[in-house]
A and B are shown apart, each in its own frame.
Chain A
Amino acid sequence: MTLRGTIVFSIGVLAALGAGWAGFPRVIYQTHRQPVDFSHQIHADKAGSKCDDCHAFRADGTFAGVPTLDKCSGCHAAAMGSTVAEKNFIERFVTPQREPEWLVYARQPENVYFSHITHVKRANLKCERCHGNQGTSNTLPPFQQDRISGYSRDIWGHAGRPAMTMDACVACHRQSHLEHSCLDCHK
């Protein structure tokens, strides 16, 4: 191959590498914003809330997940502070009694069974182990959804933060010598 040919080929390689590593992740994920600008940090610092104050277990051991509007309305029936985010939240959701459609980063596919109570109460895992520093963050990260598979980047991708991907689950189970079978997690 001539020098010119080598240069053209190399440009092709570099263009593909650039597109594949920098452009593709932007294209493949569709970014959605959460319906409310929620600050975990403010709730933790000012209200002294702990994770399980809002993300509680029910009496039967199932995980309630994202709190419903009733829980939020208990404190925010009227504005408690002066932030725009709180004002918007009350106007858009609390007053009309409309449930915010939260986007759940770690919602697992239908073929996966995940028990929060087993991991939290039995394995004594901290929430941060899987959810990173969400509990102390001031803003919620954008929800990135794979355009083709429909899955959240946090469960099937590289979110760049602790997430609930299958690789992360496998690594942790392997480290804890709890690799029994696929059916540990898969239905």
Chain B
Amino acid sequence: MTNSRRDIFKFAGGAVAGALFTPAPWRLITDTALWSENWPGIPRPARGEIRAKFTNCALCPAGCAVRARCVGEQPVSLAGVHGGLCPFGLTGHHLPYHPARLKQGPIEEAKAAVRKRAPDGIAILDLNPGRTVSWTYRRAMASLQGLYLAPESQPVAYDLSAAKTVLSIGAPLLDGWGTPANVNAARQNFRLIQAEAVESRTAVLADEWIPLAPGTERAFAQEILGALQGERTSVVARELTADGSSFVLGDAPEIPEINRLLGAYGKIIVAPSEAPVPEPWKKSAAAITRLADVPDHSIGVLLIDESNAASYIPWHFIEPKLTGDNPLVVTFAATRGGYARHAQYALPIAVYPELTDDIAPAVDSIHPTFRISVPLVAPVVTPPAGLANPADFVGALAGVPASNALRERADAIHKSAEGAIVTYADGKETPVKDLTADAFWKSLNQGARWDRPPGLSSLVPAASRSTLRPAEPIESSADLPLIAIREPHNPALVSPLMTKLYQESGLRLAPNRVALNPDDARAAHVPNGARAVLQTRIGRCSVEVTVDPAVPPGAVQVGGSPGIQDVCGPAARVKVVPA
């Protein structure tokens, strides 16, 4: 019997028909679909032992305790230990891999350039003062006869638990101002009056929101001050004086005097209490100088530490302080977005959670505390590019040893034998006197927190600095019709996931965005989502526009990007024009 071609076709037809009644074709379809989900190139989470590591979030001075769920050595999710974390903190483990991160810089060249110029008018601007590294800077500057600059020369701490009424003039009290756990714990005990132009997150959660006309915050503060001095009457001032335990928060220069008249100093506003510091450090440290107190054209070499900056000082405040003759600016930064735009050298630094650093006390921390942000991941940027260590860099200039400073500080705290250490893994509190210096150091490096309990600490009244600035001349509104309202300060580096929050929740204004009232947007011919130019007397910058009816007419709410802040001080007059 011979097989014809027709037989082959019949056999094949039968095989195809038969195959349909087997699992093979259906399985191949499913498997191919599954394979397409798993093909090479798709990132795969690490496999390994699942365990918890503890650290303290270094993104802001709140320094929330963090429990990191790690697979192998890789943190895969972060959670708060006492209470939750903010969205920035929850996504902190993304930061080392941020695409905008500064990854290389001429570290040795910068060092040589600074050595060549120092100590000719050298200064360091520390945007996150109160850390151990800040003491290294102060010691180095004392040795080099330079200046240690910080945003505030006389920091204060607020005891919210002692307040019965709080008047906040534009301060983001419930939106990243202090330690969220402390603020929330004290919240039910005080009445909050929020006075500001926009209905911010704090205004929404306040007991009373006083909508101010944009740019009238200082006038409002002056009205309160006048009422307290008996020159006029004010319902709010009466409310503040009624319960005898009130204070006012905000940026207006009248506020220290208002708080003095309210008797808040010593009761609610106290001097921040710092964890013990080795005695030799105190003897050899430069004083803290406010940038505003530095004479113009006096800084020849300016070093700027931007690591986890708690604030941003617009460049137009810094520039006049630099010498006109080719000043040298070196910044230690995580991104190119901040002072790197103005510096000759921008040196990359470690970011949370790959850096080892202690956390400055929060503004509502009235008792001394010491916490170390323990690295959860090895530095992502490795040699030959490498990362600059600002403490080592500055310490080396002055011959001040910096590499062991945290351990020396921990030993000084241990030597004081005061307070207790809280370990998060087991929730235990152990008095320092029961621990050896090594055990204390080991606990700190496992994310533990040292506190001196309230009973052992005495609150030192903060000094009231009531020197009033003269009223600034009011800018003409003819060509700049809008008044800027600034968003609260955000960390310089945030997870790309945050852009989803920016775009979908409306809870935060993206750093490069401005929000306009629909009437003002129509008048400026800028539709929602359009690119535009923000123009002030100082300069102009490119922005994206959000049209939001919640923004009052005549105002523009501006994001916190350094580019915007450089051209736009608080209550500045601005104009938005199509790009």
Contacts and interface: CB of A to CB of B under 8 A. Distances in A.
Interface of A: 1, 4-5, 8-17, 19-21, 24-25, 28, 58, 60, 62, 64, 68, 109-111, 146, 148-151, 156
Among all A-B residue pairs, the 10 with the closest Cβ atoms? A20-B22, A12-B14, A16-B18, A13-B18, A149-B34, A148-B31, A9-B14, A12-B15, A12-B11, A16-B15
Contacts of A17: 18-19, 21-22
Contact of B18 (A12, A25, A64, A109): A12
B24 A24 contact: yes
B116 interface: no
A21 B16 CA distance: 14
Nearest to B43: A110
Given A9-B17, A16-B22, 12 more contacts: A4-B7, A5-B10, A8-B11, A12-B11, A12-B18, A16-B18, A17-B21, A19-B22, A21-B23, A68-B49, A148-B32, A151-B34
Q: Which of B17, B22, B37 has the most CB of A within 10 A?
A: B22
A13 B37 CA distance: 33
A13 B15 contact: yes
Nearest to B16: A16
Interface in B16-59: 16-19, 21-24, 27-28, 30-32, 34-35, 37-38, 44-45, 49-52
A12 B13 contact: yes
A110 B44 contact: yes
Contact of A9 (B10, B21, B50, B51): B10
B12 interface: yes
B387 to A, nearest CB: 31
A12 B34 contact: no
Contacts of A111: 37
A9 B11 contact: yes
A11 B19 contact: no
A12 B10 contact: yes
Contacts of B17: 9, 12-13, 16
A19 B27 CA distance: 14
Given A62-B50, A148-B34, A11 B21 contact: no
B15 A15 contact: yes
B106 to A, nearest CB: 41
Contacts of A9: 10-11, 13-14, 17
Q: What is the interface residue range for chain B against chain A?
A: 20 to 34
14 contacts: A9-B11, A9-B13, A10-B14, A12-B11, A12-B14, A12-B15, A12-B17, A15-B15, A17-B18, A19-B24, A20-B24, A110-B44, A110-B45, A149-B35
A29 B184 CA distance: 57
A94 B360 CA distance: 48
A74 B17 CA distance: 58
A62 B10 CA distance: 58
A5 B8 CA distance: 10
A11 B22 contact: no
Given A24-B27, A148-B28, A150-B35, A8 B7 contact: yes
Contacts of B6: 5
Nearest to A10: B14
B14 A16 contact: yes
A148 B24 CA distance: 12
Interface string B381-409: 00000000000000000000000000000
Interface of B: 6-7, 10-19, 21-24, 27-28, 30-32, 34-35, 37-38, 44-45, 49-52
Contacts of A5: 6-7, 10
A24 B14 contact: no
A15 B37 CA distance: 32
B18 A20 contact: yes
Nearest to A148: B31
A64 B49 CA distance: 8
Q: Which of B6, B14, B17, B31 has the most CB of A within 10 A?
A: B14
Given A60-B52, A150-B38, A156-B34, A24 B22 contact: yes
A8 B14 contact: yes
Contacts of A58: 50-51
Contacts of B11: 8-9, 11-12, 15
Contacts of B22: 16-17, 19-21, 24
B14 A149 contact: no
Contacts of A15: 11, 14-15, 18
A5 B11 CA distance: 9
A28 B31 contact: yes
Nearest to B47: A107
B40 to A, nearest CB: 11
Contacts of B49: 64, 68
B225 to A, nearest CB: 54
B18 A14 contact: yes
Contacts of A4: 7
B370 to A, nearest CB: 26
A151 B23 CA distance: 17
Nearest to B426: A59
A109 to B, nearest CB: 8
A10 to B, nearest CB: 6
Contact of A24 (B12, B23, B38): B23
Contacts of B7: 4-5, 8
Contacts of B19: 16-17, 19-20
B244 to A, nearest CB: 47
Nearest to B27: A28
A183 B37 CA distance: 18
A85 B164 CA distance: 74
B31 A149 contact: yes
